[in-house]
Structure formats: C-alpha cells, structure tokens
Structure 1
C-alpha cells in the first residue's frame, strides 16, 4: 500500500493545511524520481517545506517498492521520461471500437488532468483543493454510490498549444471534454491526432483508489509518430 498523507484531516476556512499540501506535493515529486529523493524547494512557509521533504521521501520509497509513476511529457527533469516502463494492457471493457488504438496504460502522477476532471465532477471543490490535493478531492467527489466508476479526458502531451485560461491549456497542452465513456474520450483523442504535424495524444484515466494524484495515461498508438 502506498504511504498516505499524515497531515490530512486538519482543515480550515481556506482548505487543507500547508503541511497537507506540502506533503502531497513532495510525494508526487518523489514517486516520479527514479534517480533519488528530489531536493526540497525553498518556500516561505517552513511547515510546507518540512512536510514536502517528508512526502518526497515517502513517495520515493513507494516508487522503489511499487513502481514509479511518471509524467508522460517531453520535458527534462524528474518524472519526465520519454518512455515510462511498466506499461499494462487495458482492461477487457476498454478494447472495443476506437479503443483498439490504445493498447496499453502507463502509471502517471500529477494534478493537471485531475483538475480538469474535478471541475467537471465537482466544480464547488475548487480553490486550494485543485493543486496538491486534487486526487483526494476527486475521490471524494466520485464517492457517491451512483457516481461514475472512472473518468476519462482526452489530452495531448505535445506542449505546442495556445493558452486559453484553462490549467492544461495554460501549460501548453490540449484536452477535450471529460467523459465517463472511454470510447467517447478515445474518439476525441484520435481526432486530435489526425493532423499533419505529429502530436502525442491519448486519454488520461482516473480510477478512485486512494488519496494521491494518481492516474493512468493511455497513449494513442501512432506508430513512428508516437513521441512518448
């Protein structure tokens, strides 16, 4: 079992504590850093920094024990690898129709696609919940008995898109509408990939499992054009 955030449960009018957010941010960095525990960033809040270091050590330990969760982007630095290991085949329920172009899933971590899903599933859970603790807020939002078992959002991890006031687009990437249907998200991602300039589209899949910013990256199989 992955380490869990020991600072959760202490909330105020502004949301979770600095320590809770710092621990989770450090954990996300640590579980995507195969080269070792990442250095603690320098911030003004001492409690955030201390908790960040604790979370980074816990995440790095989980990465060594259970496998790394990597960001499928073409950037240098911790977590930005070009071909993450540990690809897993999709489930039998995700292999029909356009799903045949998405044969594998890669374990990933990061808040960006989860923020988009959270805005769709629970727009009231914004503010301080949408960064370091997006996974926790999204799990809570999907906890209803009649809620969707998982969510999908088509994305493109080629950072060559214009910013339009959206957290993913502002980071230079593209995303389509959030859906509980894999087929709908897959069709949208495949349509985005039909361009002359090679892109790297796929589907981000969130399945409630824990409080972390974990999600699966389902890359579109574009042959030699796939840059991940």
Structure 2
C-alpha cells in the first residue's frame, strides 16, 4: 500500500508499505523463470517440442503457480494490512485534516482585504480543498490514521483502478510510442537519405505508422515468434574503442 500524495493542505510524500519480502521473492521467481527458460532451450531431447513458440508459453503457464508459491503468504499479509484502513467517508482523521487545512487558509485570508487578488486566490484554494476531500469520500479509497487516502498496490481486484490499471495504461502508451518510433527508424534505414529522414520527420510516412502502433503488443509478439524482434550480437553496431 502506498499513500496518495495530497496536492494541497497537507504534507506531500510517497510512503511504501509493502513488505520487503515480496520483492525478494519476486527476484527469486524471475531467476527461476530465466533458469527454466534456458533449461528448456538447451534440453536436447525436448528441443523439438519446446520450439520458439511453446517455450515462452510454457514459461508463462508456470508463472501463476510459481508466483503463488513464493508470494502467497506475503500477499495474504498485505491484505491483512488493509484492515488497518477504513473507507475515507467514515474516517474521522480525514475530517480533522480537512478542518485543519481549511483553517490554515482562513487564517491567511484574514490578512488580506476583501476582493483582493490574494483573497480571491485563497477562496479558490478553499473551494478546491473542499472538492478534493469530497472526492475522497465519494471514491472507493481507503484512509489511514494520518487522514490521507492510501493506494492499494497488492493486486486486490477491488482496488484495481487505483494503481494497477493506470500502470498498465502507462506501459501500453509508452510501448505504443516506442514501437512507432522503432518502425519509423526501420523505414528510414531503408531509404536513400536515412539521416535526413531521422532529422526531418517524413510526416506522411510517420503518421500512418503512429496510428497503426496501437496494435504493438500483437505485432511485437508476432516478431518475437518469427525471431525478428531481437537481433544477434554480431548485428549490433559497436563503436570503435
């Protein structure tokens, strides 16, 4: 669980509450997955069965079982920690923090004359603070003893939209951008003036590439299966030393 940093009227910060054991076991799992993949790749008697398509699928198939065996207890403990939080709409500490924040603005407001720019700014801040805390109460967020909402990042489906969904959207968008850039560079390498096409973007060519980039997960998987996604070491350009 992590605390959602407030924008106004409170201390800003990012507080990790996940158990460190989760990261240790996750590292162990990744090492086991890599070992399993390499083992299957070099197992002579199984090479015909575990080809370039089946080996990654087999590794992905084992993912939930290995993950559950290593992280099951820690995820359960993380779920138990949620019991220390309550819904923000029922949090007395949230109300105290709201009252304290509004009080600070009102005390500053007394220092300025009515209808001055400073007074109008503080009135707007009071309105925004009330709206922000009201949104906390109407949402599905959980608040702690500090009176601030906490984001649940342990994979709980009921809180999927707090962290997991934005993270997946972020990865998808960044992948889209990277994939479109990769395709454009591949196009420019096959042109007569490749450097000019990299410096001066060829918009009629780049625009369709950007639009088609939304299918990048499927295209990346197809290239991975075909062996075109990753080049061999001898194809990588190394600068003179």
Tell me which interval the TM-score lies in, with the shorter structure as reference length.
under 0.3
**Structure showing the higher helix proportion among its residues:** 2
Please identify which structure carries the higher strand content: 1
TM-score (norm 1): 0.23
